[in-house]
Structure 1
Amino acid sequence: MEALEGLKVLDLSRTLAGPFCTMLLGDMGADIIKVEKPGTGDETRRFTPPKWDGISAYYLASNRNKRSITIDMKSEEGKQLIYKMAKESDVFIENFRTGAMEKMGLGYEQLKKLNPRLIYCSISGFGRTGPEKNRAGYDLLLQGYGGLMSITGETGGSPVKTGMSLVDLTMGIFAAYGILTAVIARGKTGKGQFIDASLLDGQVSLLNFLVTSYFATGKPAGRMGSAHPTIVPYQAFSAKDMDIILAVPNDGLWAKCCQALNWEDLLTDPRFKTNEDRVTHRHELVYFISKRLSLLESKEIFACLDAAGVPCGPIHTIDQVVNHPHVLSREMILEVEHPIVKNLKMAGFPIKLSDTPASLKRHPPLLGEHTEEILSELGLFADDIEQLKQKHIVGEYKDFKSSI
């Protein structure tokens, strides 16, 4: 049994936040029907390089456990197909610009008349209300607009984006959280509802303690490199052979750290007695620690601190992470059978449920791979499907080239 078995999701989203959300739902057993534009599909199919056996790695990463159907949603007959699927779906998800779905006759108020139990999730850059609701929203834009880049980078340096699409990916998680919350609510009320999921709202939420700290002090946080605004030492340092992380979040661990590394002078120095003291005298302490760690091999540092129970570790590169014995033991790298891509591997399931675990059921679909299958489930016969193909209402799944 899978936790979300029986939950049908009609997915009109593209790019990353929406597809990542529906992949998470699909991993837990939901039936994800990915609706794409005939001929081109989700634009991430063309996000290259890199390609893997001719297919975009970007697309492959967020689209497992889905079925793909291609429909011309601007045509009246295509719209009728969407209506028919929406009537039988539990969840509808889209990430078009504000007002676009309503113009096509596919807005929430229009679809809930067909299916009052429908949960409609709308992902956008700035939300569906407010003065900026019509602005386009992309991860990079929101990393800047939402404050993330103002706190990312070295002190005195230029703003820096995170190395991954943090805004999009976290919104995918938030959207899945919202959808499942609405599913639970529907079990109590019998009614669906509208979910307004904004990339900006998600980013403001992630600012978390920095928001409260600003209102407490009147001062916005700035860029601090790898350092932490309220904990010291809690940052990257350079050992003799490599960069490492030293994370000492409380006074008890500070004492253990100093004892393990024979830093009795630092432990007894009144400037560094408490974390508040260490934050006040951050620059002096970081100078002392940096100088001392730079004389030691990382293995020596880790051996001493690991034995004392002090959090520390290397700064891994991506290749080191995905081949790490612990990551592999946690089954965080999946090997996926794919009709085109040989030895496809991707990041695994981040949540481990004891009784209803996530599972891999489907490879990232080729464009329109399941069009006939899905239309047949809607009750259309082979002749009906052929007519839709001839009218270009639905795309015809042919071969590998049609999926790129």
Structure 2
Amino acid sequence: MAARTKPLSGLQVLDFTRVLAGPYASALMADLGAEVIKVEGPGGDEYRHVGPFREGESALFQAANRGKRSILLDLKDPADRKVAIALASRADVVIENFRPGVMARLGLGPDELRRRNPRLVYASISGFGQTGPNHARPAYDIVLQAMSGMMALTGDADGPPMMVGEAIADVAGGLFAAWGIMAALFERERTGEGRVIDLALFDALASMMPTAAARVLVCGQDPSRVGSRHALSAPFGVYPAGKGHFAVAVLNDRLFIRFAQAIGRPELAADPRFATDAERRLHEPVLAEAITSWASDRDAAEVVAALTEAGIPAAPLSTAREAWSSGQVVSRGLASPVDHPILGQVALPEQPVHFSDVPRGNRRPAPALDEHGAQIRAELEK
């Protein structure tokens, strides 16, 4: 069967965002064929100046802005603002992540742009949303992790709270922004009308913690840190081997019986302390001692092989470098090559969803500042 066009081919996205959450959302859409015009002010997106660098090019900027075109517009300049309005009048989607109220003061708010283009989907991304007591506060990922409860839940039980090892609030915000935009575009197909979307990174991160939310909202609990162990199930966590560490996930009674046999302790399955998942979690330290004792004279790879053979979900701990070079990542096409004018051929991450009959790859690199400015301005004259 012949390859089909990408799902968002023909979609016009005008992207006023910078740093990570907004650019991540529009990069996901660019991966799927959307034509994304990145509007940058003098000096460009801050991520152009954040390392790590290769040949003077920011790796972070390359990853977050793949597949886009760039135009430099000073939105305080009336002539450039006129160009921005003209571009928005032709766009299907506008995304912005300025402080609440900034775009309206520039004459680029949703009311003004949707008056000119009623089909426009206008997405505003901010730290705390367009309303609420914190709406005017600045927010970075570390602030959002701290305020959302994410940081309080991360780390060892007897240690300090810790950040998650990725800018998880920005990524969550980008995902939910793209999801909201897709929902609004689907609605537009039925109504012919666009919609305004208000996405707060704080809200997105809170929504990414359903286990904690259920315990707080339904059960009235106040969850605390449990380290690299599951808060509700056991054995479900990371344990040391004689060399290295391994992760194991036992979530039901049937698996626990097999697990007890695999570690040479079949009697554990008949112990009333481990009769249910809740009881096993309550007595997890006893299980941890049995697991550590069994694994102490094996390296992590041996442990994982034995558990896998027994049908127990288990894995060694990989570094990020090992994961991105693994056969699984390669076979699934989670990164694909692009040709960059300075860096040559470089691999960049790609959105993870596979669509039937749509090949992966075939993308542009991130643009140089104003690389397409003259071209985009010329297109407005047509």
What is the TM-score with the length of structure 1 in the denominator?
A: 0.91
How many residues align? The count is 378
- Structure 2 equivalent of residue 129 of structure 1: 131
Does structure 1 residue 224 correspond to structure 2 residue 226? yes
Displacement of 1:358 in angstroms is: 4.7
User: In the alignment, residue 94 of structure 1 is paired with which amino acid?
Assistant: E
In structure 1, the residue matched to 2:50 is 47
Selected match of 2:312 from 310, 313, 336: 310
| Deviations 1:39-88, CA, capped at 9 Å, x for gaps | x110100012x101111111111111100011111111111101101110
| Counterpart contact for 2:119–2:188, Cα < 8 Å | yes
Deviation of 1:347 (Å): 2.0
Please report the TM-score for the alignment, with normalisation by the length of structure 2: 0.96
Tell me, what secondary structure is at the counterpart of 1:230? Answer: coil
Q: 1:124 to 1:190 in 2, by over 3 A?
A: same
Q: Which amino acid aligns with 1:148?
A: M
**SS of alignment partner, residue 255 of structure 2:** helix
User: How many angstroms apart in 2 are the aligned matches of 1:62 and 1:357?
Assistant: 21
How far apart are residue 305 of structure 1 and its match?
A: 1.4
| 1:12-64 Cα deviation digits (max 9, x unpaired) | 000000000000001001100000013x110100012x101111111111111
Cα distance between partner residues in 2 of 1:129 and 1:84: 28
Aligned residue number for residue 92 of structure 2: 90
Among 25, 28, 38, the alignment partner of 2:29 is: 25
Instruction: Name the counterpart of 1:73.
Output: 75
* 2:194 paired with 1:195: no
- Structure 2 spans left out of the alignment, 5+ residues: none
Sequence identity (%)? 39
C-alpha distance in structure 2 between counterparts of 1:353 and 1:14, whole Å: 28
Give the secondary-structure state (helix, strand or coil) at the position aligned to 1:150.
Answer: coil
Alpha-carbon distance in 2 for matches of 1:340, 1:15: 22
In 1, are the aligned partners of 2:262 and 2:306 still within 8 Å (CA)?
yes
Q: Deviations over 1:110-166 (max 9, x none)?
A: 111110111000000000011111111111110101110000011121111111101
Asked if the contact 2:100/2:126 (under 8 Å) is kept, the reply is yes
- Contact 2:246–2:303 (CA under 8 A) maintained in structure 1: no
Q: CA RMSD in A?
A: 1.3
Summarize the Cα distance change of 1:358–1:115 in structure 2 as closer, same or farther, 3 Å threshold: farther
Q: Which amino acid aligns with 2:285?
A: H
Matches within 5 A, 1:145-294: 145-294=147-296
Aligned residue for 1:375? 377
Report the CA distance between 1:357 and its aligned residue: 4.7
Which residue number corresponds to residue 114 of structure 1? 116
Between 1:20-29 and 1:350-359, the stretch displaced more is 350-359
CA apart distance, 1:269: 1.6
- Per the alignment, residue 40 of structure 2 pairs with 36
What SS is found at the alignment partner of 1:112? Answer: helix
* Code of the aligned partner of 2:375: E
How far is 1:335 from its partner? Answer: 1.9
Ranges of 4+ aligned residues in structure 1 off by more than 4 Å: none
- Contact 1:28/1:359 (<8 A) preserved: no
Q: CA deviation at 1:296?
A: 2.3
Tell me, yes or no, if the aligned pair for 2:260 and 2:268 is still in contact at 8 Å.
yes
Gaps of at least 5 residues in structure 1 are: 381-404
Measure the CA separation in 2 of the matches of 1:9 and 1:272: 54
